[in-house]
Amino acid sequence: MKQKHYRHGQSKSRLYSIFKGMKRRCKQDARYRERGITVCKEWDDFNQFLADVGPRPSEQHSLERIDNSKGYFPGNVTWATMKEQHKNRENSIRIFYAGRKYILKDLCTELGLPYQTMKYRIRKKRWSIDQAIATPKFQRQPNNMRT
């Protein structure tokens, strides 16, 4: 009788836990339901999910949707580290600079610019990316130099 229900032998694994979490989020999380985020029918079967997604590369990797406006299905899911996932958040600032697409945080790291200053200039002051980069960071004078 036990053999009949044995399917993949991973019901206690971290990978299976991730699989179940994906399905649970789509059913129970209002933010997912409101946006129409679902799991494809083929992935009702864990073995098919595993065949499509492949094994988890490391303990640092978790499941990520490539396009956050779409659901879980082959081609829209990958394994990513937390650092990689933070770049794919809805609130990441995406910009076009010097003929390339960037996440603002990555561009700031590449150019050695202060991220919070750049974020303020672009989001709050509505400066262009060129103006935000070209304007030097305000340098505060030491207390003994102020009048």
Distance CA 135, CA 147 (A): 25
The predicted model gives 120-124 an average pLDDT of 91
Task: Please report, for residues 6, 67, 92, 96, 119, the alpha-carbon distance to residue 106 in angstroms, rounded to integers and kept in the order given.
Answer: 46, 19, 11, 12, 12
- Say whether pLDDT at 111 is over 70: yes
**Long-range Cβ pairs for the range 127-131 (8 Å, 24+):** 129/95, 129/96, 129/97, 130/97
Tokens for 132? 């935000």
At residue 68 the predicted structure's pLDDT band, cuts being 50, 70 and 90, is: confident
Whether 106 shows a pLDDT value over 90: the answer reads: no
Q: What is the pLDDT of residue 34?
A: 92
Query: Could you give the dihedral angle defined by the CA atoms of residues 129, 134, 138 and 141, in that order, rounded to the nearest 10 degrees?
Result: 170
Overall average pLDDT of the 137-147 stretch: 60
| Mean confidence (pLDDT) of the chain | 86
Q: Which band of pLDDT confidence, cut at 50, 70 and 90, is reported for residue 40?
A: very high
Torsion angle (degrees, nearest 10) of CA 105, 106, 109, 112 = -80
pTM of the entire predicted model: 0.62
The Cα–Cα gap between 25 and 71 comes to 11
